[in-house]
């Protein structure tokens, strides 16, 4: 297990180095000047030049890459060009929107998908199975921004149960959770649909295994065998999907953050790109890459815990 973990850690470190090079140099070639964007089209050229010097933009690309990476290693993400505050401070505010939102959506998605997937698998070919297959097809197919707008129109504008968007901060946790509920639900719906389908097919695959026949022969009921024997074996593909979904939810909620005007990481990257606040884009993308790689690492470790055979594989 230790060797397995070590190997994974080394590949994690190498991925991070490669990612930092790709991220920095692809983002730096975007045309546009942060200083001119900040000062506007009537500013004199010497005011723009003075600002470029202040921001350190007059230095070469390689020098800026090296100082960025050495900063990252010490936990210093740099200073935002536009906001002139440490990127870390900006990220901290945003993480407390994006992370709870991702977890909330993942929780909803799992809570919906597990029972639905199990019911469908247990009643294969019945009307319940058809309903689940049709419903999840719909869930995957519906564009989530459209669904979000429908929910806002109905629940915020018509019934006023929720606000149309925004995030009031965590001083009042109930209010904060409430403002994340609609976006989390909208994000969870397609994820739950995918997860339920994966759950169903993984269960069906295991149902035809020899050990299931043995369990039934020992006198387990159909349902009992499903829950106690098939479920654990079906978890590997489900865990893979959950890991992927979490990474996606953390960084990929940009559109939903726009619809609900939530101050999350996605909308921060979006604004930073339009403002050419490249240091923010680079640092946050790097952070997200790190989060994704870390989640993948944790999922790998979890596989090994769930399935002891994986630990011995080279």
Q: Is 182 exposed, middle or buried (CB count within 10 Å of its CB: 0-12, 13-18, 19+)?
A: buried
Supply 231's token pair. Answer: 């479920």
| Sign of torsion over alpha carbons 90, 92, 95, 96 | negative
- Of 157 and 294, CB closest to another protein: 157
Residue (153 or 221) nearer to another protein, CB? 153
Task: Tell which residue, 253, 261, 259, 211, has the closest CA to residue 232.
Answer: 211
Q: Which is nearer to another protein, 32 or 237 (CB)?
A: 32
Nearer to another protein, 180 or 241 (CB): 180
Least distance from C-beta 172 to another protein, angstroms? Answer: 9
| Least Cβ distance, residue 203 to another protein (angstroms) | 28
Decide: residue 187, CB within 10 A, 0-12 exposed, 13-18 middle, 19+ buried: buried
Q: How many Å apart are CA 34 and CA 88, to the nearest integer?
A: 19
In angstroms, the first-to-last Cα distance of the chain is: 11
CB of 44 to another protein, least distance (A): 5
Q: Which is nearer to another protein, 166 or 237 (by Cβ)?
A: 166
- Report, in Å, the least distance between residue 294 CB and another protein: 24
Judged by beta carbon, residue 166 or residue 224, the one nearer another protein is 166
Classify residue 40 by burial, with Cβ atoms within 10 Å: 0-12, 13-18, 19+: exposed
> How far is it, in rounded angstroms, from Cα 290 to Cα 295?
9
> What is the nearest approach in angstroms of another protein to the Cβ of residue 254?
11
List of residues contacting another protein (CB under 8 A): 30-33, 36-44, 46-47, 50-51, 54, 82-85, 90, 93-94, 97, 149, 152-153, 156-157, 159-167, 169, 175, 178, 258-264, 267-268, 271, 274-276
Looking at the Cβ atoms of 40 and 308, the one nearer to another protein is 40
Smallest separation (angstroms) from another protein to the CB of 168: 8
Tokens of 300: 């790998």
CB of 186 to another protein, least distance (A): 13
Name the residue with tokens 């019945």: 126
Using CA atoms, how far apart are residues 134 and 136, in angstroms rounded to an integer?
A: 6
- Round to whole Å and give the CA distance between 212 and 206: 7
């Amino acid at each position: 297990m230790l060797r397995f973990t070590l190997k994974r850690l080394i590949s994690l470190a190498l991925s991070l180095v490669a990612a930092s090079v790709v991220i920095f140099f692809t983002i730096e070639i975007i045309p546009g000047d942060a200083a001119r964007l900040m000062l506007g089209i009537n500013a004199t050229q010497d005011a723009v030049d003075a600002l470029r010097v202040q921001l350190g933009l007059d230095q070469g690309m390689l020098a800026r890459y090296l100082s960025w990476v050495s900063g990252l290693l010490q936990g210093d993400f740099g200073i935002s060009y536009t906001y002139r505050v440490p990127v870390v401070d900006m990220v901290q505010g945003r993480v407390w929107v994006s992370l709870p939102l991702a977890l909330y959506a993942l929780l909803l998605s799992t809570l919906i998908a597990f029972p639905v997937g199990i019911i469908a698998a247990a009643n294969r070919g019945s009307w319940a199975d058809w309903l689940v297959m049709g419903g999840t097809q719909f869930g995957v197919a519906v564009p989530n921004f459209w669904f979000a707008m429908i929910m806002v129109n109905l629940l915020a504008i018509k019934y006023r149960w929720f606000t149309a968007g925004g995030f009031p901060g965590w001083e009042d946790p109930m209010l904060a959770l409430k403002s994340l509920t609609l976006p989390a639900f909208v994000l969870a719906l397609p994820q739950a649909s995918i997860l339920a389908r994966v759950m169903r097919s993984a269960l069906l695959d295991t149902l035809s295994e020899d050990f299931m026949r043995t369990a039934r022969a020992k006198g387990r009921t159909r349902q009992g065998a499903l829950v106690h024997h098939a479920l654990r074996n079906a978890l590997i593909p489900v865990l893979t999907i959950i890991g992927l979904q979490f990474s996606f939810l953390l960084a990929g909620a940009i559109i939903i953050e726009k619809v609900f005007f939530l101050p999350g990481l996605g909308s921060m990257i979006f604004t930073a790109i339009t403002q050419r606040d490249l240091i923010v884009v680079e640092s946050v993308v790097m952070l997200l890459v790190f989060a994704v790689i870390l989640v993948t690492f944790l999922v790998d470790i979890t596989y090994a815990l769930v399935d002891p055979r994986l630990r011995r594989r080279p």
